[in-house]
Structure 1
C-alpha cells in the first residue's frame, strides 16, 4: 500500500467514525427527492461516476429518469439530463439555482472568491459581468477588434499553407489554441503571447488543460469536506502550481503596463488592460490588481481551451464525413469565391457552416456537465424536491444526444439544422453548450465569431486528409474528461 492509499484509507476510516456520530437517530428526511441508485454506506454513489462522468450519468438516467439523485459522499447531487428539466433549472428556477458548489481545487490563491464563473451572485459578480458585456464582448467592442481576429486567422492560414507545401501534418488543436491565444492576448494585452518560434503555445495549453482536468475530476475533498485539510489526491496542490504559472504571466504584463503609464508622453494602448487599469484607478472597489489577475486567468482559460477543443472536434467529424465537408466547401466557394478570405460579416450567409458548428457543439459540448449549481432553497421540480444546499449538475452532453429530441442522435448530421430555428445561444434547451440564464457564458458572442471564422478559413483554403496510415475507421475519437471535454488523441491532418 503506497502512502496516498494509506492516507485515503485512514481518512475514510475517520469519516466512517464521524458519520455515525453525526447521523441523527430520528426519522429520515421526508422530502421527496428524485429517484436514483441506492447509495453505499459512507461513499454513496461515488463508484457510479467512473472516469467519464458525463457518460456514466447518461447511462444511469436511462434507468432513473431525467432528474435523479446521487449521494456523492456527503454531497446530495441532483442530475438533470433532459431539455425540459434543464429549462426548469436554468430558466424557471434560475434565481434560486444560480450559485455554485465550488470544487476544492479552486480554493487556491483566493480564486474561488474572485473568479466570475464561480463566485455567488453579488455586486462583485454583477460588476465583472458588466465589464464583460460592456467592454469586451459587446457588439461595439467586437467590431472594434475585428481586425485583430482577421490578422490572426490570416497568420493561421499562412502557417497552414506552409505545412501544405512541405506535406507536414498540422496539429489542429495546437494550431487553433495558438490562434485563439493570440487573438485574446492582442485584444487584451496588445501582444502575442505565443510567438512564431516559441514553445509558449504548448506550455500554456498544457497548463490550462492540466488545471481543467484536475478541477473536473472526482475529488474526495469535494465529497468529504473534512478531507479538505489534507488534499488527499494532491489536486489542490497541483492546481495551485498551475495557477501560479498563469498568474505570473499576467502579473508581469500588468506591472509592465503600469510602468509604461507612468512615463510621460507614452501612448495609450486602448486595449482591455488599459480599460481595466482605468477602472482600478476610478473605482478600486469594483476592480483591483489582484481581482484583475484572476479575471485575466478566467478569460484566457475559458477563451482558449474551449475554442481549440471545439475546432478539433469539428475537423475530426468533417474528415470522417466527406459529404458534409464537400457541402461546406461548395457553400464557401459560392458565397465567398475562390481566393477571397472568409470575413466575420460572411457568417450570416453561410448556413451550412453554421449547421456544422451547431452539430459539433451538440455532439461535443466543450463543457459536458455545465458548471455545478447549488440550491439556495428547497426547489420543487416535476413533483420532486431539490433540497437547499444540494449540488445540481446539468448534463449538456446527454441532452445533446437525447434520442427523443434528435433523430440518429449519435451521428454527425449537420443538415438537421438547415431547416431549424434552434441555436446555441441559451434560448433552446435541446442544445446548451454555453449554458443559459444569468450564468450563460459571457464569451458566447466572441466564441461564435471566432469558431466560424477559423473553421471556415481552414475549410475554404485547403483540402484535408488524415496522416498517412490513418483512416477514418481507425481514428480514435476517445475523450478526456475535465471541466472541458478534450480529444484523448490530438488530431493531425495534412492540408492540401
Structure 2
C-alpha cells in the first residue's frame, strides 16, 4: 500500500476519539516498555541497546542534593561499580565508581569533549577552555593558559599578591569579630579566593562588600546557581523551548551584566595600553596577555570575555570550598589542628607570615590538604563528566557516540 492510494477513512480512524485513545495507549505502553529496560528509555531507544547493567526508569539523583552519594549507593546496591548505565529523559549516561573504568574514561581520546548544558552554553562557556569542543580552538586556549597563566615563574612572581590578599582576609576577620562577635568564614574565604583570581586575571583586587566587589560577588553567585540547577530542558528536548524553569531567561540577563562588567575592564586595559604601551607577559595580567595574542590567535572580544569570565568563575568556589572543608575537619579533629600549628611554629615561627617558599617544608599541612581533597573532591561528579565524540569501548562495554560519561570521584576514594 503506497501513500497515494491510502483511503482517507483509514487515516481518519486514528483521529477519531476511539482511534486516538488507541494510539495514545500504544504510545504509553511503548514508553513504559522502554523505561523498564536496563539503563532506561534513552538507552532502550538508542541504535545499540545497552548491555551495561543499570536501573530502569529515570534516575532523579540530579534533581536532589548530594547526587554523588545517591549514585554511589545505587551503584553499590546493584553491584555495578565498574560501569552503570542510566537515563535522564532522553540523555544516555554511564557512570564509573571504579578506578579502572575511571582511568579509561579520563585518559581516552574518545571522551575528549565535555557535555555542555543549556546554562553553560548561554553563559558563553562553549567559547572558554572548560567547555569548548575538542579541536584547534580548545588546544590554543589550553596552550595560552599553560604558557602564560599557569607557568611556575608567573605563579612564583605573584607570591606577594597572595600574601597581601591573605592579610586582607585576616583584617576582615578581625573587623567582623570586633563588630559582630562572629565570622561567616565561608564568605571571607569566597571573597579572598575571588580576589586572588581577580589579581591574576584582571590585575586588581576589590574591597569586601563594596561597589564593584559586591557586584562581582553577585555575578559569580548567580552563575554558580544557574550552572548547578538541574534543568529538564537539557534532557527533554520537546519542552526545551518553553524554558519552564526560567534558566535561559536568567542566563541571558546575567550575560548582559557580565559583558558590561568584563567589557569595562577590557576597555580600561586597552586605554592604558594606548597611553603607556603594552606590558610584557610577566608584568601584565591575563587580560594584557589575551590582548597581545588577540590578532595572532584570532580571538574576538566575545571570546576574551568568555575566557576571562570562566577563569573567574571556575577558579573561585573550588578553592574556597576546599579551604572551608579543611577548617571544618580541623575543628572536628583538634589534635590534627594542634600538630599543624606546631609544624608552622617550628618552620615559620611567630615573627612573620607563611610564604610560598615555606610550603615545601610544611609536610604535615600538605598531607591535610591532600586528605581533604580525597574526602571532599571538588565537583565530585560534574567536574569529571565527559562526552563520547565517537563510538568507543570501556572494557568489553560498547559506548555509542553522544553518551555522557561520568566519574564518581567520591565513590572511588575509600572512607
Same fold (TM over 0.5): yes
What 5-or-longer segments of structure 2 have no aligned partner?
1-23, 35-40
Find the counterpart in structure 2 of residue 61 from structure 1. Answer: 75
Matches within 5 A, 1:29-428: 31-39=49-57, 44-46=58-60, 50-64=64-78, 65-66=80-81, 67-91=83-107, 94-108=108-122, 111-163=124-176, 168-192=181-205, 194-196=206-208, 198=210, 200-263=212-275, 265=276, 268=279, 270-280=284-294, 282-283=295-296, 285=298, 287-369=299-381, 370-400=383-413, 406=414, 409=415
Deviation at 1:397, TM superposition (A): 2.0
2:87 counterpart SS class: strand
Higher helix share: 2
Find the counterpart in structure 2 of residue 465 from structure 1. Answer: none
Q: Distance in 1 between matches of 2:396 and 2:203?
A: 53
Deviation at 1:392, TM superposition (A): 0.8
Assess, with a 3 A threshold, how the Cα gap between structure 1 residues 375 and 155 changes in structure 2: closer, same or farther: same
Assess, with a 3 A threshold, how the Cα gap between structure 1 residues 330 and 252 changes in structure 2: closer, same or farther: same
Deviation at 1:315, TM superposition (A): 1.0
Deviation per CA, 1:275-304: give whole Å up to 9, x if none. 111111x4151x221111001100000111
Deviation at 1:155, TM superposition (A): 2.0
1:70 counterpart SS class: strand
Deviation per CA, 1:20-70: give whole Å up to 9, x if none. 7x99xx99855553211112xxxx334785333112111111023121000
Deviation at 1:171, TM superposition (A): 1.8
2:207 counterpart SS class: coil
Q: Is the 8 A contact 1:99 1:376 kept in 2?
A: yes
Deviates more, 1:215-224 or 1:242-251: 242-251
1:78 counterpart SS class: strand
Deviation per CA, 1:84-127: give whole Å up to 9, x if none. 22111112xx2001112210112226x14302111111111011
Deviation per CA, 1:316-361: give whole Å up to 9, x if none. 1211111111111111111111222101111111111111111222
2:316 counterpart SS class: helix
Q: Distance in 1 between matches of 2:56 and 2:122?
A: 34
What 5-or-longer segments of structure 1 have no aligned partner?
1-12, 401-405, 410-496
Assess, with a 3 A threshold, how the Cα gap between structure 1 residues 387 and 266 changes in structure 2: closer, same or farther: closer
Q: Distance in 2 between matches of 1:204 and 1:397?
A: 31
Q: Distance in 2 between matches of 1:391 and 1:344?
A: 39
How many residue pairs were aligned? 373
Q: Is the 8 A contact 1:379 1:388 kept in 2?
A: yes
Q: Distance in 2 between matches of 1:188 and 1:130?
A: 16
Q: Distance in 2 between matches of 1:301 and 1:151?
A: 21
Q: Distance in 2 between matches of 1:340 and 1:261?
A: 37
Deviates more, 1:114-123 or 1:382-391: 382-391
